Amino acid sequence: MTHMERVGIREMRQNLSRYARRARHGESFLITDHGQEVAQLTPAPGHASAIDRLVAERGARRGQGDLLEVLEQLPSPVPGPPTSEVLDELREERL
């Protein structure tokens, strides 16, 4: 099981609206009573997007920033033959 934030039952009861709002946005919580795990609060399947479910259930992180900006900052490809040609040559040498 992935890491879920642990919340005591008293804390959950006193702040249920806050935790329900966070669950609606894809977070999951492990509810404890005197340190023992008793339940989980997770987003309802019909209300969470696929990304929300990945965040909640698998510990995924949402992307940040603009991918195109990141790609523009990458160095240009190394000059020389394409990788496919190099691989073809290496395969021919093994035969």
The structural domains of the chain, ordered by start, are 5-67 (3.40.1620)
Inform me whether the pLDDT recorded for 92 exceeds 60.
yes
Q: What tens digit of pLDDT does each residue of 41-56 get?
A: 988 877 667 777 787 7
Q: What tens digit of pLDDT does each residue of 67-82 get?
A: 888 888 888 777 888 8
Question: How far apart are the C-alpha atoms of 1 and 57, rounded to whole Å?
Answer: 8
Question: How far apart are the C-alpha atoms of 23 and 81, rounded to whole Å?
Answer: 51
| pTM, 2 dp | 0.49
